[in-house]
Amino acid sequence: MQLDNVGVLGILLGVIARFWPVWIALAIILGLSLRYKKRLGLYGHLFDTGVGIAGLTICLFWLFTAIFADVIAPFDPLSQFLVMKNAAPGAVEPDSGMAFLFGGDRLARDVFSRMVFGSQIVLVIAPTATLFALMVGTTLGLPAGYYGGWIDNVLSFLANLVLAFPVILLFYLLVTPGIRETPIPQWLAGVFFVFPVIFFATLFYTRYRSRPGLLAVQLAATVLVGGWVYVGLVFDADPLGIISIEPNELNIFVAVVFASAPGVFRIVRGLVMDIKTRDYVAAAQTRGESPWYIMLWEVLPNARGPLIVDACLRIGYTTILLGTLGYFGLGLAPESPDWGTGIKESSRLLRLHVHPALPPVVALMSFVLGLNLLADALREQSLKD
């Protein structure tokens, strides 16, 4: 069957038009940020360099794409249209009259829609898993660097043990089908997801222990919210049905945290060993402050610059790892629109059809590029500070 085609210009204009909510959101956010950048602290300083503006714009583009995916994508990412199998870019779907802007894949699905919805998966898993890895690494790195001795030796040995293992093989072992059927991922999730609760409970206790009324409210909120999220993520038993995670996503999440936390631990440990020799730390010790108060309220704030830069880079690494897992079929479900799976599916017919592989590749590459540019801008700013 001969399909109508909108042509190259039609494809270009169609793509630009489909992203209309992203352009509006970018214009509003960037416009307000430029106007009030002097009041926005570190975020505002990103607009002092072209690198910072470029990195932030790319990252915001994909963030808004994930938020408005339902509006941007013309088709459901899982819907199949038999006449559109391996359709060329710009081919018009006969029933709806809408174009497959980037063509169809070997299962007759819209490549453009799958690329758009794939951003949701990346923007949920990569930053969230990195945040949990930061929590785990920071919570363990602070006492290791501050106390030293046997605590440092034990924790450093465990971190080095994980770091010495090949990352891809480690991911393979944690998300392989044989492991998925065991409770190992859930056990690891139960350990990792308790760290944010411990971190914030300790943070509030060390700061407000002299104000028991306020402390009780903060600890209660931490336990309630943390317990709610914990039950939803680990046991998929959120009574409100708001927080849930698929088994495949949980396995990937645990694998990312397990592989990333030791790297964060080493960075935090090194920063703490340097900062604890500063005069303001000695002054806090002289005032009689507790060790955890000094770690959380004197040392950690002065280590935030390198940690923010590392977080941006680590999200990029996680995005690449997600793509790699999807390519090897070890990521999400086979029908998932994540970018790695999209690259895998299209690579099977790469000699015949190049167009299905390009959108997820360009999407993954551009997002990681934006994160790297953002990290470079943040690094420059942290050096100035």
Q: Is the pLDDT of residue 179 over 60?
A: no
Q: By three-state DSSP, how is residue 87 classified?
A: coil
Please name the residues in contact with 94: beta carbons below 8 A apart, sequence gap of 6 or more.
Answer: 1, 3, 83
Q: Rounded to whole angstroms, how far apart are CA atoms 88 and 360?
A: 16
pLDDT at 172: 73
Q: Is the pLDDT of residue 345 over 80?
A: no
- Helical spans, DSSP H, in 89-110: none
Q: Rounded to whole angstroms, how far apart are CA atoms 147 and 145?
A: 6
Q: pLDDT by residue (tens digit) across 17-70?
A: 999 999 999 999 999 999 888 888 888 888 888 899 999 999 999 999 999 999
Q: With cut-offs at 50, 70 and 90, classify the pLDDT of residue 350.
A: low
- Are β-strands 91-92 and 99-100 bridged in parallel, bridged antiparallel, or unpaired? antiparallel
Higher pLDDT, 13 or 236: 13
The angle subtended at Cα 214 by Cα 211 and Cα 217, nearest 5°, is: 140
pLDDT at 384: 66
Q: What are phi and psi of 242, to 5 degrees?
A: -95, -45
Interval 218-234 mean pLDDT: 89
**Which structure tokens are listed for 131?**
């945040």
Q: By three-state DSSP, how is residue 100 classified?
A: strand
- The 3 state secondary structure assigned to 190-243 is HHHCCHHHHHHHHHHHHHHCCCHHHHHHHHHHHHHHHHHHHHHHHCCCCCCCCC
In our burial notation (b when 16+ CB lie closer than 10 A, e otherwise), range 344-370 reads bbbeeeeeebebbbbbbbebbeebbeb
Helix axes 111-147, 195-208, angle to 10 degrees: 50
Q: Rounded to whole angstroms, how far apart are CA atoms 371 and 178?
A: 34
Please name the residues in contact with 147: beta carbons below 8 A apart, sequence gap of 6 or more.
Answer: 291
Q: Determine which of 138-142, 160-164, 327-331 has the lowest per-residue pLDDT on average.
A: 327-331
Distance of alpha carbon 128 from the chain centroid: 5
Mean pLDDT over all residues of the chain? Answer: 86
Q: Is the pLDDT of residue 353 over 90?
A: no
Q: With cut-offs at 50, 70 and 90, classify the pLDDT of residue 151.
A: very high
Q: What are phi and psi of 63, to 5 degrees?
A: -65, -50
**Which structure tokens are listed for 3?**
């399909």
- Cβ atoms of 145 and 368 within 8 Å: the answer is no
Q: Where are the domains of the chain?
A: 7-117+355-384, 120-319
> How much is the pTM?
0.87
Q: With cut-offs at 50, 70 and 90, classify the pLDDT of residue 165.
A: confident
β-partners of residue 365 are none
Helix axes 111-147, 149-163, angle to 10 degrees: 150
- Cβ atoms of 370 and 55 within 8 Å: the answer is yes
Q: With cut-offs at 50, 70 and 90, classify the pLDDT of residue 195.
A: very high
Look at domain 120-319 and name its CATH class.
mainly alpha
pLDDT at 41: 81
Q: Rounded to whole angstroms, how far apart are CA atoms 95 and 90?
A: 15
pLDDT at 292: 93
Q: Residue type at 94? A: P
Interval 197-205 mean pLDDT: 92
Q: pLDDT by residue (tens digit) across 272-284?
A: 999 998 998 999 8
**Quick one: 270 exposed, middle or buried, by C-beta within 10 A (0-12, 13-18, 19+)?**
middle
Q: Is the pLDDT of residue 178 over 90?
A: no
Q: Is the pLDDT of residue 85 over 90?
A: no
Q: Is the pLDDT of residue 141 over 60?
A: yes
